[in-house]
Structures are given as structure tokens and as C-alpha cells.
């Protein structure tokens, strides 16, 4: 991409390796044309696509998070009841046996 940008500068008579004078006519012409050119439109289109994907992924994760919160809320009373059981019964239910 760097080579493409350097070629574009050269097309407008701007040396890509030299310090740029933003007030010079070639640079002004280059900037005026490029502000609405395909180069920036492509980048903006890619940025918009990436933003849309990120927002969709965020919405999906928020939905998943709400579902997990609901599941957690439904299981909380059972977890409290399990915690109130005597230790030997908790071990049996966990498959560890009474002596483990």
C-alpha cells in the first residue's frame, strides 16, 4: 500500500520523500481531489463494515450474557440449598463418595 500512496503522490507532483509544504499548489490539488477520492471511500467503507460487524458481535454477546444471567438466577436457589446440605451429602452428590 505504501508504494501505491507514493505513486499517487508522484502523480500530483509531490515528492513522497521530501518534506511536504501543505501550502504548495501540488499538495493543495492533491488534498482537494483525495478528500473525496476512492482511496478514502474504500477506507471508510471498510471502517463502516468493521464497525457494523463489531456492533453485531456486541449485540450477540449481550444477548448471550442476558441468557446466562437468567440461567444463573434460576440456579441460585438450588445452589443455596446444596450449600446448606451436610458435607458428606454434598460429596456424594458430587460423586466423590463419603470417604474422599
Q: How far is CA 45 from the centre of its chain?
A: 16
Structural domain includes residue 98: no
Examine residue 37 and state whether it is found in any structural domain, yes or no.
yes
Quick: pLDDT tens for 41-51: 677 677 778 88
Q: Residue 63 pLDDT more than 90?
A: yes
Could you tell me the residue range of the domain that residue 74 belongs to?
2-16+23-93
- The answer to whether residue 68 scores a pLDDT higher than 90 is yes
Residue by residue, DSSP assigns 34-77 as HTTSHHHHHHHHHHHHHHHHHHHHHHHHHHHHHHHHHHHHHHHH
Which position has the grid cell 440456579?
75
Residue 18 confidence (pLDDT) above 80: no
Q: Are 30 and 12 in contact (CB under 8 A)?
A: yes
Q: In this structure, is residue 36 part of a structural domain?
A: yes
> What sign for the dihedral angle of Cα 16, 22, 24, 28?
positive
Give the CA distances from residue 49 to residues 56, 64, 67, in Å, rounded to whole numbers and listed in that order.
Answer: 11, 23, 27
In a domain, 100, yes or no: no
- Residue 99 in any domain: the answer is no
Domain count, the chain: 1
Q: Give a yes or no: residue 74 inside a domain.
A: yes
Amino acid at each position: 500500500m505504501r508504494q501505491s500512496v507514493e505513486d499517487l503522490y508522484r502523480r500530483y507532483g509531490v515528492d513522497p520523500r521530501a518534506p511536504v509544504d501543505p501550502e504548495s499548489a501540488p499538495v493543495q490539488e492533491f488534498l482537494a481531489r483525495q478528500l473525496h477520492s476512492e482511496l478514502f471511500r474504500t477506507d471508510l467503507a471498510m471502517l463502516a463494515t468493521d464497525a457494523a460487524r463489531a456492533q453485531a458481535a456486541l449485540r450477540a454477546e449481550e444477548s448471550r450474557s442476558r441468557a446466562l444471567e437468567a440461567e444463573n438466577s434460576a440456579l441460585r436457589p438450588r445452589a443455596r440449598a446444596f450449600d446448606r446440605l451436610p458435607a458428606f451429602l454434598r460429596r456424594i452428590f458430587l460423586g466423590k463418595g463419603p470417604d474422599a
